[in-house]
Amino acid sequence: MKTKKKLPALMSAKYRGRTASYGCVLAGWLILEVMMHTGNLSSLFTSLLVPVCCYIVAAIGLNLNVGVSGELNLGQACFMSVGAFTAVCLSGSLARTIPAPLPRLILSILAGALIAAIFGILIGIPVLKLEGDYLAIVTLAFGQIVKSLITNMYLGVDENGFHFSFVDNQVNMAPGGKMLLNGPMGATGTERISTFTAGVILILLALIVVYHLMYSRSGRAIMAARDNRIAAESVGIGIFKTKMLAFAVSSCLAGAAGALYGLNYSTLVPAKFDFNTSILLLVYVVLGGLGNMTGTIVATVVLVLLPELLRSMQDYRMLIYAVVLILIMLLTNNETLKTWVQKLKKRYTAKGGTAHDTES
Amino acid sequence: MLKISDLKVSYGMIEAIKGISFEVNNGEIVTLIGANGAGKTTTMHAISGLLKPRGGSITLDGTELTKLPPHRIVSMGLAQVPEGRRVFAQQTVEENLALGAYSRKDKNETASDLTEVFTLFPRLLERRKQMAGTLSGGEQQMLAMGRALMARPSILLLDEPSMGLSPLLVSEIFHIIEEINRKGTTILLVEQNAKRALAIADRAYVLETGLITLSGTGSELANDERVKKAYLGG
């Protein structure tokens, strides 16, 4: 009886967005697993599976920050970077203590998420107290600072513990020691322990966290603070606290995504997480629709695959990529198309709607 | 009791409020009237914590409010309906009202308060599932007031509730303000519609370019020659 009652509820206006997101991820996962096992997936696509998962998680986090909370963040890639290098260093130094890859992966992702969240909170404390686009400016700068720092960081580990330096030749290690960070070369010789399944689980976890937050009391407060600051303050919402909550969760998810990303490659350079990556993540979010998590997932998949699919066009591929982006922007802003979609929506929604999945 | 003494508020170098003192006793309707730019909204924002005053003190039942952030002031029982019908446009009427009770600790009693708000504003009940942004101006004003009442305030600050509404709706809004007051909520009302405001006010203050120039009971001021000339159209 209970399940019978629950099924239609999953399609109700309140849950439709969530059902779509989870369904989309699970269906994608199933199809890809089948394709992998029957050998229908090229090695290029197989190698893209984990990175796509990472970008989706980071983009979901960014959408919470930009779409739901309404604060522009131009440094999401940098939180990925913090998470990635934390995870790579931890996994590298724990390789002997915990030889099994799975517990080490979980531990590294948790550490990456935690450290990224701490950085998020530290940045948020001064910035989120201000009104306006200060978060965008500060996260932009923070991205550059972190990139420069990691580019100049040398970290090694041996039986005596960690050795750290900002100058190359000062890392004196006992024989048998291992370099974790090599300045501009980044992390090398990382054991590749990320898996596609871990990526899918991380996406699902990210969705659970974000949806739980969005539809809770705090979530409504976050959206209220975005829609109207003065009215939100007048009903007793602490603007700083709500914005901080969204920002911290966003950076935490970026950290987890970065951790998974870092442990997917044997070599990871700090330059990978530069300003361009932050902007790409923002493009996924905006194209997928602010506050719309399913849209973010679809946009991320399409926009990560597109340049790869266009590889045969060689020199023209980024040109075509740009043209496609512009076309999508134009089409989704087309008035006739918009009204048509509205009509379709009305037919399906019939009565009552929800404001949470606002598409712009 | 809300007591304001020697309040000074500045925007940069410009002194908007130059040291005003007034009080609102429990159960009263007190109105602050004045022309555009007299400092009415500034005073309201200073009381509710949206602006930090440069000097003076604001106390609610003896507790100093000037050092507290806005959300703490709300949970102390002082709610504000900001000027210009600021509703959360992308959320439904019901969700807006639920957010009004955000600062409350007694979650179980919000249901009965919701019923009370719907009795006071039957139109909100009809439109409970509708997006707040699609409501008419008058309905949005009612929603903003209902939302403030959901915090179950002991004192309610109303900033220009009649602004931009048709005469019929203005009457309705003022009627509701009296009704809210009858049920035990103290009211501080800021209005440009001085005639209406003075008619329902127990006491009133006239604010002119950052200073209180006149004070008295509602009817005293309504019959004062200077007030008549300046604010009541002769």
**Interval B129-184: pLDDT, tens:** 999 999 998 999 999 999 999 999 999 999 999 988 899 999 999 999 999 999 99
| Residue ranges in chain A modelled with pLDDT below 70 | 1-11, 13, 169-170, 349-360
Mutate to test the interface with B, among A12, A131, A217, A235 (most CBs of B within 10 A): A235
Size (chain B), residues: 234
Q: How many CB atoms lie within 10 A of CB B127?
A: 19
For the segment B57-70, the average pLDDT, to the nearest whole number, is 93
Instruction: Pull the structure tokens for residue B37.
Output: 């730019």
Alpha carbon distance, N-terminus to C-terminus of chain A = 39
- List beta partners, residue B214: B206
A80, A149, A261 from A47: Cα distances, Å? 19, 29, 12
Decide if the complex's ipTM is over 0.90. no
Q: Looking at beta carbons, which residues of chain B come within 8 Å of A346?
A: none
pTM over 0.90: no
A52, A60, A324, B15 from A56: Cα distances, Å? 6, 6, 20, 51
Non-local CB neighbours of A99 within 8 Å, separated by 6+ positions: none
B24's enclosing H/E stretch is strand B14-24
Give the CB-side neighbour count of residue A301, counting CA atoms within 13 A.
14
Give the CB-side neighbour count of residue A349, counting CA atoms within 13 A.
16
Q: Looking at beta carbons, which residues of chain A come within 8 Å of B90?
A: 223, 227, 355, 358
The predicted-structure confidence for B186-220, as pLDDT tens digits, reads as follows 999 999 889 999 999 999 999 999 999 999 999 99
Distance, in Å, from the CA atom of B194 to the CA atom of A53, rounded to the nearest integer, reads 62
Q: How confident is the model at residue B234 (pLDDT cuts 50, 70, 90)?
A: low
The pairing of beta strand A154-158 with beta strand B155-159:
unpaired
Identify which of B90, B129, B151 has the shortest CB distance to residue A236: B151
Searching chain A, which residue's CA lies closest to the CA of residue B90?
A355
Task: Compute chain B's Rg from CA coordinates.
Answer: 17
Q: Looking at beta carbons, which residues of chain A come within 8 Å of B100?
A: 235
A296's enclosing H/E stretch is helix A293-309
Give the per-residue pLDDT at A358.
42
Letter for the amino acid at A145? I
Give the per-residue pLDDT at A170.
65
The Cα angle at residue A159 between residues A155 and A165, in degrees rounded to 5: 20
